[in-house]
Structure 1
Amino acid sequence: MIADPPFDRPRGRPLVATLLGLVALLATAAAPALAQSGTPITASIETRDLRVGFTPGPYEDAFKAGAAPVLGAQGYRIAYAHFSTGLEVNKAVAFDEIDANVMQHSVYLKAYNERNGTDLVGIVQVPTPPMGLYSRKHRTLSAVRPGATVAVPNDPVNLERALKILRDAGWIGLKANANPVDVTELDVTANPSGIRIVPLEAAQAPRALDDVDFAAIQGNFAIFSGLKLTEALALETMTAPYINVVAVRRVHAETPWAKAIVAAYRSDAFQAAIRADRFYDGFTLPDYFR
């Protein structure tokens, strides 16, 4: 994990070393009120620090463009943490190393909770690029031939999304499965195109484009690697459960800072920032966008 600034303290410890100047300036005015209420001096300061984690993709840029200015105007200080995988960033939220993350859809979040015994929840949806089918060797879907290699994500939740793209392209038949976390290659019921499905770790898919005929790539990894949504030979039809969310621990979902994050994303300022940038053309937008 690379974090700026570094997180070298557990949540809730006093920030004495870094806040002596502030305490000195406010001591005279604050002391009577604190003495009367008994509230620790770090309580109000802690709610002003927001630690938000991201994996590679467009979500940090969107947050900085539209949500962070709104939060900053309210006095929140944002610290950005960077992770390589969703497992790492979810663990960081679960252990209160960071407050929130922006990188996953609700289906993935539910599967993570079930497998790890955690209780993370989505508090607001965010603009999300759809998964797409890309190729550096072929220009059309009709170029598929028997034996063609197709890279797909190796985690069940996103494997289902990829297989649905292949199904909609007419390349495979797919058994209906009500639970995405149970989907495997065995759910492919027909393969009239004769393709060879190659499961890969999702973040590796863009790098595999030179080695496979086609690759189903999640939108965040596609954009991070320099691919454009308009370059995809096919894009998934994204439904609400697959639109990404801001995730926090359930116990924090109703805190003032969590509500402030929700309000920042739903603000006119955030929506205007996203609509004004052509980079977000093709993204699936949450239903609060007007």
Structure 2
Amino acid sequence: MLPRRTLLAGLAALAAGRASAAPETRAAPETRDVRVGFTPRPYEDAFRAGIEPTLAGQGYRVAYAHFSTGLEVNKAVAHDEIDANVMQHSVYLKAYNERNGTDLVGIVPVPTPPMGLYSRKHKALSAVRPGATVAVPNDPVNLERALKILRDAGWIGLRPNGNPVDVTELDVTDNPKGIRIVPLEAAQAPRALEDVDFAAVQGNFAIFSGLKLTEALALEAMTAPYINVVAVRRPRAEAPWARAIVAAYRSDAFRAAIRADRVYDGFALPDYFR
């Protein structure tokens, strides 16, 4: 029979051996809330499908906030009611900052549906006739985009203007088709299709209302300043959660998710998709 001291030492060694052989258990990642605001689709859909899973794996919990207009969601970021928003291009963001004395910045571009010209009454651009009504956004930045679509269709002449914030209907220099331009709140454009001949509809509102980009009679030639961005307050641009959002958008997983979903056909894609 072993002496008691020897027995106790053996049991201690056995216990230590079992402890070292047991698998390591890793602590669950710390959960941190990230508050993100959206106007109606499609940016929230893309965020839920391609960004939130990556953030969740890093311990972030996304809280979604919904707004009707870009002014409301920008105000919420500026007042620190939410951390970020996804709904606007850099030109609109710059104009908002200048008008409101805010300091919001874009941290990463996102897939963006272009503005398109739609009609429920006509099947082709060639159907336009003198007196035809064409609805366009009533805010200057997006009005410029709509007028460029009409210009490229050959319906109007447009005076060059280096500052989109200053664009009005008075910048139309020629109207050979005799169309009547009807400014409306951008969100109302899909509903206006029942009453006007044509409407220039922003991509997000088109998709939200069930219109397809492939159904547009014309789509804008979208360039980088008009591709939407994730916007945050400048002091938060390098916060860990902000860097995590940027990395998630630029990830292989996000690119694969967007390319696999036909819903995003026709979207303008940021450079990191190349």
TM over 0.5: yes
Match of 1:61 in 2: 45
Tell me the CA shift for residue 276 of structure 1: 0.6
Q: How does 1:225-240 map to 2 (within 5 A)?
A: 225-240=209-224
Alignment of 1:279 with 2:263, yes or no, is yes
Match of 2:253 in 1: 269
List alignment gaps of at least 5 residues for structure 1: 1-43
List per-residue Cα deviations over 1:244-287 (Å, max 9, x = no partner): 00000001001111101100100111111100101101000000
Match of 1:182 in 2: 166
Tell me the CA shift for residue 57 of structure 1: 1.9
Supply the AA of the counterpart residue of 1:222.
Answer: A
SS in 1 for 2:68: coil
Q: Distance in 2 between matches of 1:64 and 1:57?
A: 11
Tell me the CA shift for residue 218 of structure 1: 0.2
Alignment of 1:253 with 2:237, yes or no, is yes
List per-residue Cα deviations over 1:49-87 (Å, max 9, x = no partner): 100000012000000111111101000000000000000
Alignment of 1:70 with 2:54, yes or no, is yes
TM-score, structure 2 normalization: 0.89
Which of 180, 199, 203 pairs up with 1:196?
180
Match of 1:87 in 2: 71
Q: Distance in 2 between matches of 1:65 and 1:114?
A: 33
Q: How does 1:1-290 map to 2 (within 5 A)?
A: 48-290=32-274
Tell me the CA shift for residue 48 of structure 1: 1.5
The runs of 4+ residues in structure 1 deviating greater than 3 Å are: none
Q: Distance in 1 between matches of 2:48 and 2:259?
A: 14
Tell me the CA shift for residue 132 of structure 1: 0.1
Q: Distance in 1 between matches of 2:163 and 2:74?
A: 21
SS in 2 for 1:216: strand
Name the count of aligned residue pairs. Answer: 246
List per-residue Cα deviations over 1:102-150 (Å, max 9, x = no partner): 0000000000000000000000000000000000000000000000000
Q: Distance in 1 between matches of 2:65 and 2:50?
A: 18
SS in 2 for 1:53: strand
Q: Distance in 1 between matches of 2:242 and 2:147?
A: 35
List per-residue Cα deviations over 1:9-56 (Å, max 9, x = no partner): xxxxxxxxxxxxxxxxxxxxxxxxxxxxxxxxxxx97x8210000001
SS in 2 for 1:161: helix
Match of 1:25 in 2: none
Q: Distance in 1 between matches of 2:107 and 2:159?
A: 32
Task: Give 1 or 2 for the bigger CA radius of gyration.
Answer: 2
Q: Distance in 1 between matches of 2:82 and 2:148?
A: 34
SS in 1 for 2:65: strand
Supply the AA of the counterpart residue of 2:81.
Answer: E
